[in-house]
């Protein structure tokens, strides 16, 4: 008689129960309905004006419209006809928990767009043509298109002669990246430039061309963009035009063709090893995405340091084509020469763009912080990642923004916490890619330039309550977090901003549930609320390995709508999940 083995397999059912409304939602419903079972449009209007702080502008018509939208989403048409427009408690909760009906920030452009370009933070890409790492990835139009679709307004192209010296390629110079033709990039920019925003797209060119090829580029730009191309009225302007004036226009920014001398091509190698800038400074973070444990600090390794290298352009504007090329440059770029104090001098009748690497800015900020702020009041400062970020990682953008830098250039093909902050910042102002800089960075109050190092008093206090979360069972496989049990979620909430404001806090974990309810409140004291971003992350606690990622979002405190709000979450790359969201409350006290 043979031996038989019997296997008993146990399966655990992943039942998802719908979480009931939090106590604050029930209390609000009871208060505004006066303990009735249904809420009228007028009662909803009172709730929106008082608890949601939407001001007296909310009309009875708007409240009625919200009721109709909620009922159409939750109930079929037959039911809708047979009942008056009244909300039950579940309908009310459903409304509050719907990101499309009750979002945490406004979706419209609402800032003044008539100030000069230098008055705005501008959504800026770095090496926008790379599909992956900085050394060997393909160059392609795909990341350019993706960036424009996310609302990026500054696209960077490195332009080099092809091997036959008769055409122009886009590639990361002196690396193994495979090139893409410049004309393909320009056509893609033309097609997608204004799919997300009507405000201008700036093309920053890293020019490594001969005068003949510069003439060819000028011709390509004119023929591709035609009337979209913005021509400056004169070579030097006293101030930049505004985003409003430049709607639907393409702007070229690069260093003018060299009239002077052969550019230096020798690169000095830095020899100090420094610890990675990528390590998060906001308390102990879950272990993820902290690559580049040691990076070589090298100011000259980035392609930006070759901005002067206009190929073989010795003898300057002898070529007629170079004149045409120069005529197209609306924002003149300049690399730092001589001491920083010299470079940061304000010229009365001339505005320009200056480029600094992330670590050059950090060094400059130590001694010349207020000089940088003063420079950026009229001129444009572009900050770019150090060249040793081979894997397309990014740096903390706040140091640039604190000093008024308009173009904090990021590797959009990379991802991680720094990129989440960048994406969060540019959710402001309707996601149009231009965010007005705070007045204190632009204006000298009491004849004092803003000092990013100054110790400032608390200006605003924000209370954040995390009620609950939902949607993971719809957007993830049921075995994604744990094979045999529902997940154990916790939420991290905190602030990114000036150093005094930076902090991260976390809720308790809720075990074995797909719809966790935390109901925990946190208080944040802010010294510079205008530059503060609210960071939200959800993680799933894992005993045996590192915690699993469950979603994130980030948005400016200055944009926050008060009251109980539905907060949609995004994946690591910044793509919005279909269903995952948190219910939170925001109060300024």
Catalytic residues: 126, 172
- Is 240 within 8 Å of 380 (Cβ atoms)? yes
d(CA 250, CA 258) in angstroms, rounded, equals 23
Give, for 44, the enclosing helix (H) or strand (E).
helix 41-50
Ramachandran angles phi, psi of 83, nearest 5°: -125, 155
d(CA 49, CA 69) in angstroms, rounded, equals 19
**In Å, how far from its chain's centre is CA 533?**
11
**In Å, how far from its chain's centre is CA 543?**
33
C-alpha distances out from residue 150 to 104, 123, 153, 432, Å: 19, 10, 9, 9
Residue with the two structure tokens 């939902």: 470
Q: Give the strand order in the sheet containing 489-496.
A: 503-506, 489-496, 533-540, 548-556, 563-570, 576-588, 460-470, 517-526
Cα angle value 44/50/51 (rounded, 5°): 85
C-alpha distances out from residue 254 to 84, 208, 260, 311, 329, Å: 62, 11, 16, 14, 7
Helix, strand, or coil here: 517? Answer: strand
Question: Would you state the structure tokens that stand for residue 305, as one six-digit string?
Answer: 């340091």
Question: Would you state the structure tokens that stand for residue 187, as one six-digit string?
Answer: 């056509």
Please report how the helices 320-327 and 211-225 are oriented relative to each other, as an axis angle in degrees rounded to 10. 50
Q: Which long-range contacts (CB under 8 A, 24 or more apart) does 165-173 make?
A: 165/210, 165/213, 167/213, 167/216, 168/209, 168/213, 168/216, 168/217, 168/220, 170/129, 170/139, 171/129, 171/139, 172/127, 172/130, 172/134, 172/135, 172/139, 172/303, 173/206, 173/208, 173/303, 173/306
d(CA 463, CA 524) in angstroms, rounded, equals 6
Residue with the two structure tokens 């770095």: 126
Neighbouring CB atoms inside 10 A of 445's CB total: 9
Residues 6 or more apart whose CB falls under 8 angstroms from that of 220 comprise 168, 182, 183, 186
- The DSSP call for residue 42 is H
Buried b (16+ CB within 10 A) or exposed e, 33-49: beeeebbbbebbbebbe
Residue with the two structure tokens 């995952």: 580
Number of H helices, E strands in the chain: 15, 22
């Amino acid at each position: 008689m043979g031996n038989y083995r019997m296997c008993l397999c146990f399966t655990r059912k992943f039942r998802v129960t719908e979480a009931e409304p939090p106590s604050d939602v029930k209390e609000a419903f009871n208060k505004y309905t006066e303990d009735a079972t249904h809420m009228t449009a007028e009662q909803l209007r009172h709730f929106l004006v008082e608890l949601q702080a939407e001001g007296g502008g909310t009309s009875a018509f708007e409240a009625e419209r919200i009721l109709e939208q909620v009922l159409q989403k939750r109930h079929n048409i037959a039911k809708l006809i047979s009942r008056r427009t009244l909300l039950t408690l579940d309908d009310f909760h459903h409304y509050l928990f719907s990101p499309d009906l009750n979002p945490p920030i406004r979706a419209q452009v609402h800032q003044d767009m008539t100030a000069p370009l230098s008055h705005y933070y501008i959504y800026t890409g770095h090496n926008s043509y790379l599909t992956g790492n900085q050394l060997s990835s393909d160059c392609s139009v795909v990341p350019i298109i993706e960036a424009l679709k996310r609302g990026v307004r500054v696209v960077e192209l490195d332009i080099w002669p092809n091997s036959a010296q008769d055409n122009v390629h886009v590639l990361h110079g002196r690396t193994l990246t495979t090139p893409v033709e410049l004309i393909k990039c320009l056509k893609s920019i033309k097609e997608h430039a204004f799919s997300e925003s009507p405000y201008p797209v700036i093309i920053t060119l890293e020019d490594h061309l001969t005068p003949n090829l510069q003439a060819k580029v000028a011709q390509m730009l004119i023929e591709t963009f035609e009337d979209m191309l913005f021509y400056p009225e004169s070579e030097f302007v006293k101030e930049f035009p505004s985003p409003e004036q430049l709607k639907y226009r393409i702007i070229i920014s690069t260093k003018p063709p060299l009239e002077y001398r052969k550019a230096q091509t020798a690169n000095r190698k830095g020899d100090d090893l420094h610890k990675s800038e990528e390590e998060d400074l906001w308390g102990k973070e879950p272990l993820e995405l902290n690559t580049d444990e040691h990076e070589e600090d090298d100011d000259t390794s980035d392609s930006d340091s070759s901005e002067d290298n206009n190929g073989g352009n010795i003898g300057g504007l002898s070529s007629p084509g170079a004149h045409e090329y120069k005529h197209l440059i609306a924002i003149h770029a300049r690399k730092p020469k001589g001491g920083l104090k010299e470079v940061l001098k304000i010229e009365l009748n001339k505005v320009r763009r200056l480029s600094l690497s992330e670590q050059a800015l950090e060094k400059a900020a130590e001694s010349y912080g207020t000089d940088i702020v003063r420079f950026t009041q009229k001129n444009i400062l572009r900050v770019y990642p150090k060249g040793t970020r081979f894997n397309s990682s990014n740096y903390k953008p706040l140091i640039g923004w604190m000093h008024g830098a308009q173009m904090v250039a990021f590797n959009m093909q990379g991802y991680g916490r720094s990129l989440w902050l960048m994406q969060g910042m540019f959710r402001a102002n309707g996601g149009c890619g231009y965010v007005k800089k705070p007045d204190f960075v632009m204006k000298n109050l009491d004849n004092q330039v803003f000092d990013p190092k100054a110790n400032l008093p608390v200006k605003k206090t924000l209370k954040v309550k995390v009620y609950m979360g939902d949607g993971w069972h719809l957007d993830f496989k049921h075995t994604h977090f744990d094979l045999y049990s529902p997940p154990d979620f916790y939420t991290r909430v905190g602030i990114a901003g000036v150093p005094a404001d930076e902090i991260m806090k976390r809720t308790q974990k809720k075990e074995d549930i797909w719809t966790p309810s935390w109901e925990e409140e946190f208080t944040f004291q802010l010294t510079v609320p205008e530059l503060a971003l609210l960071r939200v992350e959800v993680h799933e606690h894992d005993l045996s390995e590192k915690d699993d990622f469950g979603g994130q979002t980030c948005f400016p405190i200055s944009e926050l709508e008060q009251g109980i709000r539905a907060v949609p979450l995004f994946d690591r790359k910044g793509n919005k999940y279909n269903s995952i969201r948190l219910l939170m409350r925001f109060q300024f006290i």
